[in-house]
Amino acid sequence: MTDANSKRLGHDQAYKWRLVDEQGMSQNLDPDTKTIEHLFLDFMQMEDFAKHPIIMKKAQGVWYEDVKGKKYLDGLSGVFVVNVGHGNRRVIEAMKEQLEEITFAPPLYSTNLRAIELAKLIAGITPGDLHTVKLFSGGSEATEAAMKLARQYHRQTGNPHKYKVISRYEGYHGATMGALAASGVTSRRTTFEPLSAGYIHVFPPTCYRCPYGLEYPECAVLCATMMENVIKHEDPATVSSIIVEPIGNTGGIITPPQEYFKILREIADRYEILLIFDEVITGFGRTGLMFAAHTFNTVPDIICMGKGMSSGYAPVGGIAFSDRIADAFYGEPSKGLQFNHGHTFGGNPLSSAAAIASITEIKERNLPELATKTGGLIWKRLKELESLGIIGEIRGKGLIIGVEFVKDKETKERFPSSASFGIRVGKKALEKGLIIRYDPNWVALAPPLITSSEEANRMMDIFSESVTEVLKSIGS
Ligand SMILES: Cc1ncc(COP(=O)(O)O)c(C=O)c1O
């Protein structure tokens, strides 16, 4: 840390970040891992993190091991990423082979064999006629591109004023400015406001706490039908796309009723609006079928992909879109019909090789089916915890499962925010060697799709102990 930084932060010794063991003793570590002063992490208060940094050193299967030798069960696939598990030989060998052949092709003039192969592979597993693929390096690039593709599509098919994007409160579509404007996580947005104009938000299908105070099914899925009202008020001639996560992570694994997307599909069609599924988390087997579009039996116009696409072996993302959209971009070059968008690393051969191997593994081992089976086991173990009286709702599909905690099951009253129940459960689990996603009122489990029954049970043993201990500690 530079002197200037030390002064600015009002620290000197405190920023001599070292790894310390439980007794506060410095550890004799590899010199490269001694300090983290040059690094900023995502959404992380570095001063806090530096007090007890977790630095991962290796990983295999569903296990991580940190530099201190502590082992962690990966109950979150890193962060909804490592679908085929860590250390997968097929992916590693494919990448090694690719390194020897070619790792970058000049994007202004060419493409490469792996990018072509990956696009074909994806076109073969997406629903409906989403046969055309554009490749990127991650989820935010994918969602940004999807929204831009929708705008340009309308512009060159006779609807030049369609530019607005409708998305949902509590949704997350990425950290870049456009993706953030579409996101609805207040805490992540307000720091950077004002964001781009033309981004409209509607309430998500949080049935357990319905924003309209209704109950399913008497509600007639008002959260979906309300979309039509919003479009009419915005003027349909100005709305280009609706972007939604089929299952919303950031709001607490928000899982809509089965007919929700069918209603959105009909509304989108009625007003010539493109329906975009952000499947950055739900894609590649997570919900029990290859895409959540299959799980919810709805074909969107565009699917956004990232995370589990390469299982994290290389940064990769993409969009797959319908023939109707693709057709609008073919034609005489002088008419300027090409999609005016790109990134240097889109279709990178090494990333593509990783994605091909990971997707092939998911397909050949039928990992989506395994996700349903293991998800069922986790669900059953969570049900057993209901006798504690603090599980308000369990939700999700396949291997993306959320648990909402409540102080009172009858009234759905939450624990006081000072209790931070979900956070304490998540931290307790981490201490005991299980990684999950946590929030003040809910937690999420999303282990790799390869997780065996034995491993899932082990995860759930730790989870159950963590919940019970936290409950005891707050005296409930
Ligand atoms: C649903 C969803 N979309 C988009 C993104 C952005 O992906 P990335 O972080 O790879 O840019 C995320 C990231 O968490 C996500 O969860």
pLDDT tens, residue by residue, 59-86: 999 999 999 999 999 999 999 999 999 9
- Strand 132-136 and strand 317-321: pairing? antiparallel
CA of residue 140 to ligand 1 center, whole Å: 6
User: 0.85 cut: is pTM over it?
Assistant: yes
Given a cut of 60, whether residue 21 has pLDDT beyond it is: no
What number does the ligand 1 atom closest to the CA of 171 have?
Answer: 1
278 touches ligand 1 (CB under 6 Å): yes
CA distances from residue 105 to 114, 141, 349, 468 in whole angstroms, order as listed = 11, 19, 8, 54
Single out the residue of 13, 6, 49, 56 nearest to residue 33, CA to CA: 56
Residue that wins the pLDDT comparison between 192 and 33: 192
CB 412 within 8 A of CB 392: yes
173 touches ligand 1 (CB under 6 Å): yes
Which pLDDT score, from 0 to 100, does residue 272 have? Answer: 98
Query: Candidates 77, 83, 143, 167: which one to mutate for ligand 1, based on the most atoms within 8 Å of Cβ?
Result: 143
Residue 51 pLDDT level (bands cut at 50, 70, 90) = confident
pLDDT digits (tens, 9 = 90+) for 104-155: 999 999 999 999 999 999 999 999 999 999 999 999 999 999 999 999 999 9
Query: Candidates 143, 280, 287, 291: which one to mutate for ligand 1, based on the most atoms within 8 Å of Cβ?
Result: 280
Tokens of 30: 């590899």
CB 104 within 8 A of CB 359: no
The mean pLDDT of 33-51, rounded to a whole number, is: 85
Q: What is the C-alpha to C-alpha distance for residues 36 and 32, in angstroms, rounded to an integer? A: 9
What number does the ligand 1 atom closest to the CA of 315 have?
Answer: 10
437 touches ligand 1 (CB under 6 Å): no
Which pLDDT score, from 0 to 100, does residue 35 have? Answer: 72
Q: What is the C-alpha to C-alpha distance for residues 237 and 232, in angstroms, rounded to an integer? A: 9
| Residue located nearest, by CA, to atom 8 of ligand 1 | 139
| Residue located nearest, by CA, to atom 7 of ligand 1 | 139
Which pLDDT score, from 0 to 100, does residue 476 have? Answer: 61
Residue 11 pLDDT level (bands cut at 50, 70, 90) = very low
| Residue located nearest, by CA, to atom 13 of ligand 1 | 174
| Residue located nearest, by CA, to atom 4 of ligand 1 | 173
391 touches ligand 1 (CB under 6 Å): no
Residue 52 pLDDT level (bands cut at 50, 70, 90) = confident
What number does the ligand 1 atom closest to the CA of 249 have?
Answer: 16
Single out the residue of 399, 364, 189, 395 nearest to residue 281, CA to CA: 399
Which pLDDT score, from 0 to 100, does residue 234 have? Answer: 98
Query: Candidates 307, 310, 311, 351: which one to mutate for ligand 1, based on the most atoms within 8 Å of Cβ?
Result: 307
pLDDT digits (tens, 9 = 90+) for 385-404: 999 999 999 999 999 999 99
Q: What is the C-alpha to C-alpha distance for residues 272 and 186, in angstroms, rounded to an integer? A: 29
CA of residue 292 to ligand 1 center, whole Å: 16
Residue 6 pLDDT level (bands cut at 50, 70, 90) = very low
The one-letter code for the residue type at 45 is Q
